[in-house]
Amino acid sequence: MTDTAKPAYRVLARKYRPETFSELIGQDALVRTLGNALSLGRLAHAFVLTGVRGIGKTSTARLLARGLNCIGPDGNGDATLEPCGACEPCRSITQGRNVDVLEIDAASHTGVDDAREIIEGVGYRPVSARYKIYIIDEVHMMSKSAFNALLKTLEEPPDAVKFIFATTEIRKVPVTILSRCQRYDLRRVPAAMLASHLWMICQRESIEADKDALAAIARAAEGSVRDALSLLDQAAAMTADKLTNDMVAAMLGRPGRRESQTLLTAALAGDATTALAAFAAAYSRGAEPEMLVSDLLDLIHLASMQAAGGSDEAVIESEREMITSLASSGIARLGRAWQLMLKGHGELGQAPNPAAACEMLIIRLAHAAQMPTPGELMQKLPTASTPAAITTAGASVAPQPKNPSAAATISQTTAGNFDQTPAKASTATNPAAVPIVPQMVEPSTSKTPPAPDSLVDIVALAETNGEMLLAARIRNHVQLVSLKPCNLQISLVGSAPDQLAGDIARYLSQWTGQRWLVSLAESGGEKTLAEQQRDANEKLRDTIASEPLVAQILEIFPGAIIDEVKASQAADPDILAGYDGALDTEQDTDDEEISK
Ligand SMILES: [Zn+2]
């Protein structure tokens, strides 16, 4: 990047390397702690600096080395957080020629020999400086034996020796080492802070740039000052004119923030056409679908944080208005968009055509936006005397009582998934009489129950006595021909086991204390209880679907079907009429499934 007509170009990252701790941006906490340790004379023999790459660990290490060895312009200064930069130690350390400050990159010196070299050197006094300082970069890369050698030194370090370790992966550093270090965590620099840092540099370097463009660079750098400065270098090299958001977007392969915003705003409003057009524009300018989705995720996150009243440290000033406008969509809608986009982000990598996958994702997002949130649904529903609690797939929109209540479970799948919990008994004296009137039965009481006078009573008796398999078999395979006291005549259908009539007789005798006779008729009789329930259920679903409340829900959730209807003793009897028959529908019940 040198130009013959100009003095040698120095890359920004090097030129703007912090010379003092006050120039170290975004690390206030570290500087404060370090300052305290220094002023209290509580400096450890070893320091470990950790944080993601490009965040300033090495710069901090060198600053610290200077601070520890600075003697001030007059040569009488003490160790300080504000190295003078003028004394001999300061200058030689900055220039990398101070014999007492050794920088070692553990990534390339991992052997035990290097560690031994260090230990041998540790024995000698510093040549000229106050301290002999070892800066070991990427310390987690050292071999186990090198760590062991180092550990011995750390256990009894000579007074005039300091170690400064830097690492991106603190977890890989043995705890025996860590326990002998003062640890300092360098944090990612917030995008807003990075952007204003870039702005300051642009002014000093006479680089003309839009604030939006700098914000885009700051975001892309993900908290790394070095990355941000390298990107600014690249962008500045691309043009002699003003740096714009579009240019930076093209350089980064990212959509412009405005495009992302247009896309997201449109999608959240259910406007797929505008959203897709914004995607097409960004894509034609070279934005990668994956980048676009992560940019959308970033916007959704910032807007959600704003909507939730969380920290807005990450929001760049020029974007505040936009984020606020997105936040007005509300947490529920943003949360749903987040889930959708996150899932889509994961799928993008597997799609043969990421652009197409991204378009599908946008369409899905716009479609989902048209669905009301659970909160809105509550507001749409009539509030007074709602007899039914409605649950939708994944989102409960009404309090769900513990006791069975008149509840229409509406599922957005088409699979009929019927509850197989034991039914409360109901009387069905006349099989043609649908709806069936519910009857209260006290379950599991020890007193002798009255003699059954219907098949439903017999099933209830079986269930009360815990014979679920028998109850299921009666419900599915038994057609009632006649029922008199102690005399039951039935016919069997389906795959009824041979001994079923005998079983019924035996159990009835046992439960009622009277001798029962159960005889088999060749054919004839009422429909089985299961069939009756199916019929009743059909009818009930039609009735329920025409209830204004339910009709409204079906309209709000396109594609929803009534999956199951549960009866409630507490509900309005008029609405209850006909519910009970559907309470326990067991389509195609497999006997074996019921057995306990
Ligand atoms: Zn100095």
pLDDT at 413: 36
- pLDDT score at 89: 93
pLDDT at 523 (0 to 100) = 75
Report, as an integer, the average pLDDT of 158-174: 90
How far is the centre of ligand 1, averaged over its atoms, from the C-alpha of 82 (Å)? 8
Cα of 100 to ligand 1 centre, how many Å? 15
CA of 86 from ligand 1 middle (Å) equals 5
Per-residue pLDDT at 560 = 67
166 Cα: distance to centroid of ligand 1 (angstroms): 23
Distance 128 CA to ligand 1 centre (A): 13
Q: Ligand 1: distance of its center to the CA of 60 in Å?
A: 15
Per the domain annotation, does 102 fall within a domain?
A: yes
Q: What is the pLDDT of residues 117-139, one digit of tens each?
A: 776 677 788 888 999 999 998 88
- Rounded to whole angstroms, how far apart are CA atoms 442 and 424? 9
Last residue of a domain, one of 185, 206, 239: 185
Give the model's pLDDT for residue 485.
85
Measured in angstroms, how far is the CA atom of residue 372 from the centroid of ligand 1? 65
Whether 345 contacts 293, CB under 8 Å: yes
Is 29 part of a structural domain of the chain? yes
pLDDT recorded at residue 304: 93
* 85 Cα–ligand 1 center, Å: 5
> For residue 436, how many other CB atoms are within 10 A of its CB?
24
CA-to-CA dists, residue 6 to 13, 262, 595, angstroms: 19, 42, 89
Q: ∠ at Cα 240 (250, 286), nearest 5°? A: 10
Residues 91 and 16 in one domain: yes
Quickly list DSSP for 12-51: HHHHT--SSGGGSTT-HHHHHHHHHHHHTT---SEEEEE-
Amino acid letter, 257: R
Q: Is the pLDDT of residue 572 over 60?
A: no
Average pLDDT along the chain? 78
User: What pLDDT does 153 receive?
Assistant: 86
Report pLDDT for 588: 41
At 541, the pLDDT band (50, 70, 90 cuts) reads confident
In a domain, 2, yes or no: no
Please tell me the number of Cα atoms within 13 Å of 220 on its side-chain side. Answer: 27
Task: Output the pLDDT for position 116.
Answer: 65
pLDDT > 90: percent of the chain? 22
Instruction: Look up the domain containing 443 and give its range.
Output: 406-596
Q: What is the pLDDT of residue 68?
A: 92
| Spatial CA neighbour of 563 closest among 391, 332, 398 | 391
Ligand 1 centroid to residue 78 C-alpha, Å: 9
- Domain co-membership, 327 together with 246: no
For 380-416, the pLDDT digits (tens) are 666 544 444 444 444 444 444 444 434 344 433 333 3
Query: What pLDDT shows up at residue 434?
Result: 41
- Cβ atoms 567, 580 nearer than 8 A: yes
CA of 343 to the centre of ligand 1 (A): 54
Cβ 381 vs Cβ 556: under 8 Å: no
The answer to whether 134 and 62 are in contact (CB under 8 A) is: no
Residue that terminates a domain, selected from 314, 346, 370 = 370
Helical residues (DSSP H) of 109-156, grouped into ranges: 112-122, 144-155
Distance 87 CA to ligand 1 centre (A): 4
For ligand 1, the distance from its centroid to the CA atom of residue 183, given in whole angstroms, is 24
Q: How far is the CA of 63 from the centre of ligand 1 (A)?
A: 10
Please tell me the distance between residue 197's alpha carbon and the centre of ligand 1 in angstroms. 26
Indicate whether 501 and 515 sit together in one domain.
yes
Say if 400 falls within a structural domain: no
Residues 506 and 472 in one domain: yes
- Residue 579 CB coordination number (10 Å): 25
- State pTM to two decimals: 0.53
In a domain, 544, yes or no: yes
pLDDT of residue 246: 85
Question: Which range (187-201, 408-422, 544-558) has the least confidence?
Answer: 408-422
Q: Is 301 exposed, middle or buried (0-12, 13-18, 19+ CB in 10 A)?
A: middle
Tell me how far the alpha carbon of residue 33 lies from the centroid of ligand 1, in angstroms: 21
Do 304 and 425 belong to one domain?
Answer: no
Q: 322 vs 245, 269, 302, 316, 420, CA distance in Å?
A: 16, 15, 10, 10, 51
pLDDT for res 559: 60
Nearest-angstrom CA–CA distance, 460 and 571: 22
Tokens of 316: 């760049």
Res. 50 pLDDT band, cuts 50 70 90? very high
**491 plus 562 within the same structural domain:** yes
32 C-alpha vs ligand 1 centroid, how far in Å? 20
Residues 237 and 312 in one domain: no
Average pLDDT (336-351) is 90
- The strand pairing partners of 596, in sequence order, are none
For residue 85, what pLDDT is reported? 87
Tell me the CA–centroid distance for residue 459 and ligand 1, in Å.
94
Same domain, 451 and 551: yes
Cα 549 to middle of ligand 1, angstroms: 79
Rounded to 5 degrees, φ, ψ at 22 are -70, -20
Output the CA 353–ligand 1 centroid distance in Å. Answer: 59
On whether residue 387 sits in a domain, the answer given is no
**Please, which pLDDT band fits residue 566 given cuts at 50, 70 and 90?**
low
Q: What is the distance in A from the centroid of ligand 1 to the CA of 96?
A: 14
Shared-domain flag, residues 173 and 208: no
Instruction: In whole angstroms, give the CA distance from residue 99 to residue 171.
Output: 31
pLDDT value at position 145?
A: 78
> Residue 114: what pLDDT?
66
Look at residue 381 in the predicted model and tell me its pLDDT: 66
DSSP states along 42-83: ---SEEEEE-STTSSHHHHHHHHHHHHH---TTS---S-SS-
List, for residues 522-540, the tens digit of each pLDDT value: 777 888 888 888 888 888 8
Q: Could you tell me if residue 553 is inside a domain?
A: yes
- Centroid of ligand 1 to alpha carbon of 79 (angstroms): 9
Which range is least confidently modeled, 205-209, 331-335, 510-514? 510-514
CATH code for position 289: 1.20.272.10
Counting beta carbons within 10 angstroms of the beta carbon of residue 426, is it exposed (0 to 12), middle (13 to 18) or buried (19 or more)?
buried
State whether the Cα torsion 156-181-135-166 is positive or negative: positive
CATH number assigned to the domain comprising residue 220? 1.10.8.60
Distance 399 CA to ligand 1 centre (A): 70
| CATH label of the domain that carries residue 120 | 3.40.50.300
Under a CB-based contact definition with an 8 Å cutoff, are residues 30 and 186 in contact? yes
Cα 156 to averaged position of ligand 1 atoms, centre (Å)? 28
Least confident interval from 102-111, 144-153, 357-366, 478-487 = 102-111
Distances in whole angstroms, Cα of residue 271 to Cα of each of 241, 281, 282, 334: 36, 16, 17, 16
Residue-level pLDDT at 55: 85
Q: For residue 17, how far is its CA from the centre of ligand 1 (angstroms)?
A: 17
Number of independent structural domains in the chain: 4
Question: Which one of 128, 150, 185 terminates a domain?
Answer: 185
- Same-domain status, 28 and 156: yes
- For residues 202 and 236, what is the distance between their CA atoms, to the nearest angstrom? 9
pLDDT in tens, 444-465: 444 555 778 888 889 888 888 8
Give the per-residue pLDDT at 555.
66
Are 202 and 175 contained in the same domain?
no
Q: What percent of the chain has pLDDT over 70?
A: 77
Expressed in angstroms and rounded, the spacing between residue 177 Cα and the centre of ligand 1 is 30
pLDDT at 46 exceeding the cut of 60: yes
134 CA → ligand 1 middle, Å: 18
With 80 as the cut, is the pLDDT of residue 496 above it? yes
pLDDT tier at 256, thresholds 50, 70, 90: confident
Q: Which of 312, 307, 301 is nearest to 331 (CA)?
A: 307
* 278 and 204 inside one domain: no
Please say if the pLDDT value at position 564 is more than 60. yes
| Residue scoring higher pLDDT (236 or 416) | 236
Q: If you measure from the C-alpha of residue 67 to the centroid of ligand 1, how many angstroms do you get, rounded to a whole number?
A: 7
Establish if 397 belongs to a structural domain.
no
Cα(386)–Cα(110) distance, integer angstroms:
72
User: Is the distance from CB of 353 to CB of 249 less than 8 angstroms?
Assistant: no
The answer on pLDDT for 276 being more than 60 is: yes
